[in-house]
Amino acid sequence: MYKQLNQKAWFLVAPVVALVAFNAIIPLMTVVNFSVQETFGDNVFFWAGVDWFEQVLHSSRFHDALLRQILFTAIILLIEVPLGLIVALAMPRKGPWVSVCLVTMALPLLIPWNVVGAMWNIFALPEIGLMGKGLRSLGFDFNYTRQPLTAWFTVVLMDVWHWTSLVVLLCYAGLVSIPNDYYQAAKIDGASAWSVFRYIQLPKLKRVLTIAILLRFMDSFMIYTEVVVLTGGGPGNSTTFLSIDLVKMALGQFDLGPAAAMSLIYFLIILLLSWLFYTVMTRNEAR
């Protein structure tokens, strides 16, 4: 018997589609419009084609910012994902300490990004900051406002403090969802802690780790507010990542054409790398 489909649900979806179109598609088309045209004001535009894209792709400034961005994201992933997994494995599964640990882990995620940058700015100041002054009292020449390596260390440490909790909570949720039968079978077989982790916990956490890596990759590749508040992209251009360089070009120099082209290239890089991450990490699931 033929059953007629009810299409009335589209009336409920339509407001969401309209909101997404307004917040995403329309601004995106505006950026596309600026990326292929030149303007000298008075809302008069001249066709530029792909000139802005060629200018950005051949710019050493863009290449330097991209390399800094890739290096920062690689460092963040290499630190936060293993560290978050280790902390999640060490957290209790039962008892009153579970709530304490979960609330403690969630606290950094509740702090706004600009507040995180301001907190670490004060915390790491070489003359009055607790960390900066403490390291200098121990004999370290610590000054993130003048030393590029020290600035990188501070930015990475700030991001690790802020976002490792996200990986911890995701991994912990994956661990507590593993049925206890697996652990009982491993205990009967006399499996070691390493064997339990390798053959039970790690395979069961594969999807959770995929989500954690994708989220941390996208967030770290688009980092802006915390670094701007902490270092302003300095000293020099040592912490000027792609997002910071893009804002400087668009709002500081008001080069709307190159900035629009750079934003589209930026978007495509994130989209391509996210797809590669997801494809590599899920390629064996069909088996």
For 131-158, write each residue's pLDDT tens digit: 989 998 898 889 998 999 999 999 999 9
For residue 23, give every residue at least 6 positions away whose Cβ sits within 8 Å of its Cβ, in sequence order, or none.
Answer: none
User: Cα–Cα distances in Å, from 70 out to 43, 151, 215?
Assistant: 37, 17, 15
CA distance 218 to 208: 16
Give the separation between CA 48 and CA 249, rounded to whole angstroms.
18
Partners of 47 in the β-ladder: 37
d(CA 256, CA 120): 32
* Domain residue extents for the chain: 57-282
User: Nearest to residue 102, comparing CAs of 112, 87, 114, 113?
Assistant: 87
- Which residue, chain included where needed, has tokens 């709002």? 251
pLDDT of residue 264: 94
5-49 tens-digit pLDDT: 667 777 888 888 888 777 778 788 888 888 888 877 677 778 888
- Name the residue with tokens 């702090």: 111
d(CA 207, CA 230): 34
Instruction: Please give the pLDDT value at position 281.
Output: 78
Q: What is the rounded CA–CA span in Å between residue 243 and residue 225?
A: 9
Residue 98 has pLDDT above 70, yes or no: yes
Tokens, residue 213: 């890596």
Query: What distance in Å separates the CA atoms of residue 4 and residue 7, rounded to the nearest whole number?
Result: 9
Any idea which residue has 């300095």 for tokens?
A: 234
* 31's tokens: 């950026």
pLDDT band at residue 242 using 50, 70 and 90 as cut-offs: very high
Are 162 and 204 contacting, i.e. CB atoms less than 8 angstroms apart?
Answer: no
The CATH architecture of the domain made up of 57-282 is: Orthogonal Bundle (1.10)
pLDDT of 162 over the 90 cut:
yes
Q: Each residue of 52-84: pLDDT tens digit?
A: 999 999 999 999 999 999 999 999 999 999 999
pLDDT in tens, 173-193: 999 999 989 989 988 888 898
How confident is the model over 103-118, as pLDDT tens digits? 999 999 999 999 999 9
Q: Mean pLDDT throughout 108-129?
A: 92
Residue with the larger pLDDT of the pair 198 and 16: 198
Q: What is the pLDDT of residue 12?
A: 81
At residue 15's C-alpha, the angle toward residues 13 and 21, to 5°, is 105
Please list, in sequence order, all residues whose beta carbon lies within 8 angstroms of the beta carbon of residue 234, skipping any fewer than 6 positions away. Answer: 145, 151, 240
Q: Hey, what amino acid is at 153?
A: F
